[in-house]
Amino acid sequence: MSATDALCRYCGWEGPDPVRDGNPPLANPEKDPIEMLVISRTVKEENQYVNPDSMSNVIAARKLEQMGEEFMPGMKVSWIVTDHKKSPMEVEPYLSGAKFEKMPDWEYYARRVAQTLAYVTEVYGWDEKALLTGKRSQQKSLSSDDFSEAALPSESTRRADKKLTLEDFF
């Protein structure tokens, strides 16, 4: 099962993969999983950041102010990533109870899920890439017959030309 399949199952979506099709069912407010995608962080005054133009939380706070919402430094701002490939990431503020009009970046969220799951599943051959594609990587284990003794380098005893003393190692 791929990470997007897991995300669909977690959100209660059934049938063909709606995330890869680009049409996840967000119309039904009873099953609206958009709140699971929300990222929230506190925003300080902009002059306290070295590069505020590259920070998602500052960008979301600016957009909130442009929308006419009240914002004060120290508040938490919530946003949803809409394009992670741009630099800085494109984010849209999220207001609880308001309809979110933009399309979330499903690839970004699938990668986040896969990265988190890979911490646990990597020992079983399911790394981040395998989780995203749904195909398990073929990892060799020490107990398998894939390692032959011919592949191992032969160890021969090494001899020094002279007797080594402690000073030779410094």
Whole-number pLDDT of residue 29: 47
Whole-number pLDDT of residue 27: 45
What distance in Å separates the CA atoms of residue 169 and residue 70, rounded to the nearest whole number?
Answer: 68
What is the identity of the amino acid at 65? E
Whole-number pLDDT of residue 73: 93
Instruction: With CA atoms as reference, report the closest residue to 14 among 31, 29, 30.
Output: 31
The ranges assigned to domains in the chain are 1-35+104-133, 39-93
Over residues 130-165, the pLDDT tens digits come to 888 888 766 555 555 554 555 555 566 666 677 777
Q: CB of 24 within 8 A of CB of 32?
A: no
Q: CB of 107 within 8 A of CB of 89?
A: no
- Confidence band of 124 (pLDDT split at 50, 70, 90): confident
3-7, 22-26, 116-120, 149-153: which is most confident = 116-120
Residue of higher predicted confidence among 19 and 155: 155
What distance in Å separates the CA atoms of residue 126 and residue 141, rounded to the nearest whole number?
Answer: 14
Residue of higher predicted confidence among 123 and 3: 123
What distance in Å separates the CA atoms of residue 54 and residue 115, rounded to the nearest whole number?
Answer: 23
What's the pTM value of the predicted model, to 2 decimals?
0.63
Whole-number pLDDT of residue 4: 59
Distance between start and end Cα atoms, the chain:
55
Over residues 51-100, the pLDDT tens digits come to 999 999 999 999 999 999 998 999 999 999 999 999 999 999 999 888 88
What distance in Å separates the CA atoms of residue 107 and residue 128, rounded to the nearest whole number?
Answer: 13
